[in-house]
Chain A
Amino acid sequence: MHIAIIGNGISGITAARFIRKLSDHKITVISAETDYFFSRTALMYIYMGHMRKEDTQPYENWFWEKNRIDLKRGFVEKVNHQNNELLFADGEKMPYDKLIIACGSTPNKFGWPGQDLDAVHGMYSMQDLDSMEKYSDGLKQAVIVGGGLIGIEMAEMFHSRNIPVTFLVRESSFWNGVLPAEESAMINRHIFENHIDLRLQTELKEIVDDGNGKACAAITNKGDRVECGFVGLTAGVRPNTAFLKDSGIEMERGILVNEFLATNIPNIYAIGDCAQMQNPLPGRRPVEAIWYTGRMMGETVAYNICKKKIAYDPGIWFNSAKFFEIEYQVYGTVLAKAPENHISVYWEHVDGRKSIRIVYDKNTDEIVGFNLMGVRFRHEVCEKWLREKTNVEEVLQNLAIANFDPEFYKSYEGEVLKIYNQQAGRNLIAKKKRSWSNAFSFLKP
């Protein structure tokens, strides 16, 4: 059986790897972007000079041949499912028995005047990175539009080269659709202390052409004009499905898939950023453009093709990011606008760059979520507490076993407990100390 995979990102590659673990099928991974799999999340580090391009490749080049995973560079123009065939832009055809579409996302553009000018780019692909590099030479000012994770990454990239950045964010506070107010305010402060010209509640109105088809300024909805040599469009991403139009594959925002990641067409599956769950699990969005969900879908689809039907279940929500110097981790449900029954225990360090938020249900006292800034928690421990709906007091008294900060770091679980005691009028004391042995005996009793 020949399994073709469109897209060599984390979803497609994980699918290929697990298909190889589970079977002897012929596998072809197709990409128009690069010859080899690289970590998209590391693109910023290439620009910042932390890493070279080859350092972003998780596997050495010989790995693919050794594991009989064929790599094909090419752009799939059409999927012809009647003949089980892919049509490439150069006219080449490739037959397949099963097809996995893992073609990722493309940056959103909202019809801004000038959005297709030169020096206007998103930050998604290797080509985007090359463009940023090209326009960075002698760049005096950059404008970034859109206050999400990619926007702040792009700001950090320019900042690393001392290129001044104006950062237009539609919301009243950075990423406050996801982060609770305190954390969002912390990141606002952190953006300012990095000398980024953050403009909240400001939207892009127009990008000005310099007369040669290149962007030279951005005009905001407040009428301000910012002269610049580069405009970054980072207002989110959408599934990259343009080439599937009229293919017969059912789509809405993304490619619609059932719980087994299968599309409406037999033998065609879709995973990762480009897939849209027909019936999203409770509390989950239909399209989740997240590294981790892509990886889990890749693994799940491999089972569905090779072994047995397994429904996609991403489990307890988790995510992470880094905003300049502040690391962010989240486990479980921590909502920007907390519902009435969610109570937070929130501690923030005096330096204003670290915080711990523990969310629980006030009716049941069950733990609901962890939100961490500048502090690391142990994934499996948090997950187990969340899965077992542990009582918040039990969690807080044993919080130290979740701490994952390096050795000799000051630990703040005591402060969190103190705040809870004040809030709830309790007098609890910590039970366990931070150690691998304590965490292990909790995880594997």
Chain B
Amino acid sequence: MKLIKNIGLALFIIALTIFVASLTLSNHTLTDTVLSENISNTYHREMIKQQAGDLMGKEFGSNIAFINSIKPVLNNSLEALDKASGIDPDNDIWNAIPEKLPEGVSENDYRMFPNTVDDYLFSLTKYSAGGLLPGNSNWFFLLSFILGALGGLMYLLPDLNLIPGIKNNQIYDSSATRGITFKTRMVFLGTTILASIFMVFFKYLLIGVLTIVAGVFIIYKIRKTNQENDVTFQKTRTVSATKGLGWIGISFGIFLILFYVALYFFPEYITNWTLMLDPISESLSGNTASRWFLYGFLYTSVMFVMGIRMLIKYRHNNYQLVRTSSVVFFQTAFAFLIPEFLLRLNQPYMDLKNAWPLDYDFFFGDSINKMYGQGAEFAIAGWATNVGTMMFIWGIVLTLVVVPFFTYYFGKRWYCSWVCGCGGLAETLGDPYRQLSDKSLTAWKYERYIIHGVLVFAIVMTGMVIYTYMTGSSNILFFDSYNVRSWYGFFIGSMFSGIVGTGFYPLMGNRVWCRFGCPLAGLMGLVQKFKSRFRITTNGGQCISCGNCSTYCEMGIDVRAYAQRGQNVVRASCVGCGICAAVCPRGVLRLENGSVDIDNRVTELKTVHVKGIDITDGVFNLEGNEI
């Protein structure tokens, strides 16, 4: 059994190594064929060819060398086309002069834009590739994706031989899952926040410098912390590692962060991964694999394998089995397969379960245009309509009706731990890290400011975007709505939900995004807190204050604080994962819904033994005062 596990682990590490190495296993040559297959616009193609000059036909040994040479070519092409169309920033001419454009060609067809450059850079890098990987991409697919999944399963399946029950042995002894100290965590967080600010205002310039500085700083801190004989008993409930730092966890966190940085900001460096997925993507949607297809495929596969891990780990617990199957199903069907099929059927791409404001670009003008009046016409109740319009209506109904209604009946768990993709990854890939969430009162205070701040930001941003869509005017007060939405997209959409949300699993726990950032969770939290049938019931006086529930609460709720008072848990942040109830050794906690006591869910303190003398108001005192 141990042997099978070790072989599985070895196969997984080999697959991971091949996966990472595959990024370097190509050479690149820009040829006429590559240009004509990837750039349909003749003006662009001719200009790039002209700007490339000698570089045409030259073989580059690596994608880095290729990108270094071709990126300037593309930027020069953009400038040259701008110049040819009469644009002259020095004389404040920002739009093309129609007479300078070829007969019957519009400005948008003639000029290149920064996002055109990004697109071309991605596809030219991808399809100029030759050599080991591109020639054997199917083999590499087998040796990385498939071998990795098989290795993972080999590592996981032998656990079926263990007696079913809670399996958290050695979590805090393992370098992969023991977490980091409070200070180190702050270093990671601070670096990420600073880096994102610099990235917006200095356009990547300082990334290199900053990362080096941060890296040196982190190493210094880690060394120092390791030297201190960590007397962790002094620091309650904030995160700190037991025996030195979790190096494997830190490495995994950095790997995830780098993956997200590449995915969001430097996709041209990971084209080889998409090359491996072209056959699958083509068979699903008919298109070649974009970086988002890569992300979706990887996301779904990881959730699938780690979902099996959850099913094995909690096979004695039906709630966990049903819930885990549900999130994996919704990810596979709704987030991954259905949108691809929609593309194949020439319908607008849509994840039908993704609700605004989590789906923050739902009301963006281009997104509305893509949906509204698009897709196949059909008749409904005598009205002719079409798929896109229905999607638009569904999206609004989802947010305004389905979300509050279901949250009233079941709490926000129906979404966060049964349906949501972010939640799904957190519950599968992130499960080994759930204990790393910060349970301190301070963290709770920050949580409420930050998540409601993001919610307000999302609402204001969407309001501005809709205003712009309706009126055509983008200036509102002192802000340009296009800037506001791109700030939101960058800070919240990319940095927070991606890099911090997932990259920080091994550093801050698996629900950082859901707890501190997700505006939809914030919205549902308000419903759950003030008007919902959901609560976690505590079982009379049975609590022994052991703290398993708090330790394994991924949302950082100090469940024990309620359980030891015999008070039901009603918290805006609770996603109803049910793990507190599962790890409780005394059967104290139960997730349940009920309307009979909806306004008095938390008033009773069941462990207060001397009855009849009212000494508390029954409401948990946030400040931790006994009175």
Q: Is the CB of A50 within 8 A of B168?
A: yes
Question: A60-72, CB under 8 A of B: which get 1 and which 0?
Answer: 1111001100000
Q: Is the CB of A48 within 8 A of B170?
A: yes
Task: Check: B597 CB closer than 8 A to any chain A CB.
Answer: yes
* Known A52-B240, A441-B596; contact A406-B610, beta-carbon cutoff 8 A: no
Q: Is the CB of B616 within 8 A of A21?
A: yes
Number of interface residues of B (CB under 8 A): 69
Q: A214-271: which have CB < 8 Å to B? A: none
Q: A404-445: which have CB < 8 Å to B? A: 404-410, 435-437, 440-441
* Known A39-B544, A436-B592; contact A49-B171, beta-carbon cutoff 8 A: yes
Q: How far is the CA of A273 from the CA of B387 in the complex (A)?
A: 70
Nearest CB in chain B: distance from A28 CB, A:
16
* Known A50-B172, A435-B594; contact A60-B546, beta-carbon cutoff 8 A: no
What are the residues of chain A within 8 A of B163 when measuring CB–CB?
193-194, 324-325
Task: Check: B317 CB closer than 8 A to any chain A CB.
Answer: yes
Q: How far is the CA of A292 from the CA of B610 in the complex (A)?
A: 13
What are the residues of chain B within 8 A of A329 when measuring CB–CB?
542, 586-587
The chain B residue sitting closest to A57, CB to CB, is B236
Nearest CB in chain B: distance from A213 CB, A:
27
Task: Check: B164 CB closer than 8 A to any chain A CB.
Answer: yes
Q: Is the CB of B626 within 8 A of A406?
A: no
Task: Check: B303 CB closer than 8 A to any chain A CB.
Answer: no
Q: Is the CB of A55 within 8 A of B168?
A: no
Q: Which of A98-106, A116-124, A170-178, A372-380 contacts B (4 or more CB under 8 A)?
A: A372-380
Q: Is the CB of B540 within 8 A of A408?
A: no
B587 contact from A42, A45, A404, Cβ within 8 A: A404
Nearest CB in chain B: distance from A352 CB, A:
11
Q: Is the CB of B610 within 8 A of A52?
A: no
Q: How far is the CA of A391 from the CA of B10 in the complex (A)?
A: 62
Q: Which of A84-92, A275-283, A293-301 contacts B (4 or more CB under 8 A)?
A: A293-301
Q: Which of B30-38, B78-86, B577-585 contacts A (4 or more CB under 8 A)?
A: B577-585
B171 contact from A35, A50, A300, A307, Cβ within 8 A: A50
What are the residues of chain A within 8 A of B318 when measuring CB–CB?
406-410
Q: Is the CB of A436 within 8 A of B613?
A: no
Q: How far is the CA of A67 from the CA of B172 in the complex (A)?
A: 31
Task: Check: A206 CB closer than 8 A to any chain B CB.
Answer: no
Q: Is the CB of B625 within 8 A of A42?
A: no
What are the residues of chain A within 8 A of B593 when measuring CB–CB?
436
Q: Is the CB of B319 within 8 A of A408?
A: yes
* Known A66-B623, A299-B610; contact A42-B232, beta-carbon cutoff 8 A: no
Task: Check: B29 CB closer than 8 A to any chain A CB.
Answer: no
Question: B587-600, CB under 8 A of A: which get 1 and which 0?
Answer: 10011111111000
What are the residues of chain B within 8 A of A34 when measuring CB–CB?
233
The chain B residue sitting closest to A325, CB to CB, is B165
Task: Check: B607 CB closer than 8 A to any chain A CB.
Answer: yes
Q: Is the CB of B595 within 8 A of A437?
A: yes
Q: How far is the CA of A106 from the CA of B613 in the complex (A)?
A: 35
Q: B606-627: which have CB < 8 Å to A? A: 606-610, 613, 615-616, 623-627
Q: Is the CB of B591 within 8 A of A406?
A: yes
**Dominant secondary structure at the A interface:** mixed
The chain B residue sitting closest to A126, CB to CB, is B233
B594 contact from A53, A160, A406, A437, Cβ within 8 A: A437
The chain B residue sitting closest to A383, CB to CB, is B540
Q: Which of B113-121, B489-497, B547-555 contacts A (4 or more CB under 8 A)?
A: B547-555
Task: Check: A54 CB closer than 8 A to any chain B CB.
Answer: yes
B609 contact from A36, A39, A48, A295, Cβ within 8 A: A295
Question: B158-186, CB under 8 A of A: which get 1 and which 0?
Answer: 00000111101111111000000000000
Question: A153-171, CB under 8 A of B: which get 1 and which 0?
Answer: 0000000110000000000
Q: How far is the CA of A59 from the CA of B561 in the complex (A)?
A: 8
A49 contact from B168, B232, B545, Cβ within 8 A: B168
Q: How far is the CA of A20 from the CA of B626 in the complex (A)?
A: 7
* Known A21-B616, A58-B564; contact A409-B586, beta-carbon cutoff 8 A: no
What are the residues of chain A within 8 A of B539 when measuring CB–CB?
376, 378-379, 404
B624 contact from A62, A321, A405, A407, Cβ within 8 A: A62
Task: Check: B560 CB closer than 8 A to any chain A CB.
Answer: yes
The chain B residue sitting closest to A382, CB to CB, is B540
Q: How far is the CA of A110 from the CA of B572 in the complex (A)?
A: 53
Q: How far is the CA of A18 from the CA of B608 in the complex (A)?
A: 10
Q: How far is the CA of A53 from the CA of B624 in the complex (A)?
A: 21
Q: How far is the CA of A322 from the CA of B583 in the complex (A)?
A: 11
Task: Check: A108 CB closer than 8 A to any chain B CB.
Answer: no
Q: Is the CB of A296 within 8 A of B625?
A: no
Q: How far is the CA of A322 from the CA of B540 in the complex (A)?
A: 17
The chain A residue sitting closest to B163, CB to CB, is A325
Q: How far is the CA of A211 from the CA of B597 in the complex (A)?
A: 67
* Known A52-B172, A324-B163; contact A60-B545, beta-carbon cutoff 8 A: no
What are the residues of chain B within 8 A of A17 when measuring CB–CB?
626
Nearest CB in chain B: distance from A309 CB, A:
12
What are the residues of chain B within 8 A of A67 when measuring CB–CB?
624-627
What are the residues of chain A within 8 A of B237 when measuring CB–CB?
54-55, 57, 60
What are the residues of chain B within 8 A of A20 when measuring CB–CB?
626-627
Task: Check: B322 CB closer than 8 A to any chain A CB.
Answer: yes
What are the residues of chain A within 8 A of B546 when measuring CB–CB?
39, 41-42, 45, 51, 56
What are the residues of chain B within 8 A of A55 when measuring CB–CB?
237, 547, 550-551
What are the residues of chain B within 8 A of A325 when measuring CB–CB?
163-166, 316
The chain A residue sitting closest to B168, CB to CB, is A50
A379 contact from B236, B542, B578, Cβ within 8 A: B542
What are the residues of chain A within 8 A of B166 when measuring CB–CB?
325
What are the residues of chain B within 8 A of A291 when measuring CB–CB?
544
Task: Check: B224 CB closer than 8 A to any chain A CB.
Answer: no
Q: How far is the CA of A41 from the CA of B546 in the complex (A)?
A: 6
Task: Check: B369 CB closer than 8 A to any chain A CB.
Answer: no
Nearest CB in chain B: distance from A318 CB, A:
7
The chain A residue sitting closest to B585, CB to CB, is A322
The 10 closest A-B pairs by CB, nearest first: A379-B540, A325-B165, A436-B594, A376-B587, A408-B318, A42-B546, A49-B170, A322-B585, A49-B173, A41-B544
- For the complex with contacts A404-B587, A407-B592, A409-B319, 6 further pairs of A-B residues with Cβ separation under 8 Å are A60-B624, A295-B609, A376-B539, A383-B540, A406-B582, A407-B578
List chain A positions with a Cβ less than 8 A from chain B: 10, 17-18, 20-22, 34-36, 39, 41-42, 45, 48-63, 66-67, 160-161, 193-194, 291-292, 295-296, 299-300, 303, 307, 310, 314-315, 318, 320-322, 324-325, 327, 329, 376-380, 383, 404-410, 435-437, 440-441
List chain B positions with a Cβ less than 8 A from chain A: 163-166, 168-174, 232-237, 240, 242, 316-319, 321-322, 440-441, 537, 539-542, 544-548, 550-551, 560-561, 564, 578, 581-582, 585-587, 590-597, 606-610, 613, 615-616, 623-627
**Interchain Cβ contacts under 8 Å between A and B, 27 examples:** A18-B615, A22-B615, A36-B233, A41-B544, A41-B545, A42-B546, A49-B168, A49-B170, A51-B546, A51-B547, A52-B232, A54-B232, A57-B547, A66-B624, A160-B170, A161-B169, A300-B610, A327-B586, A329-B587, A378-B539, A379-B541, A380-B606, A406-B578, A406-B590, A408-B321, A409-B317, A441-B596
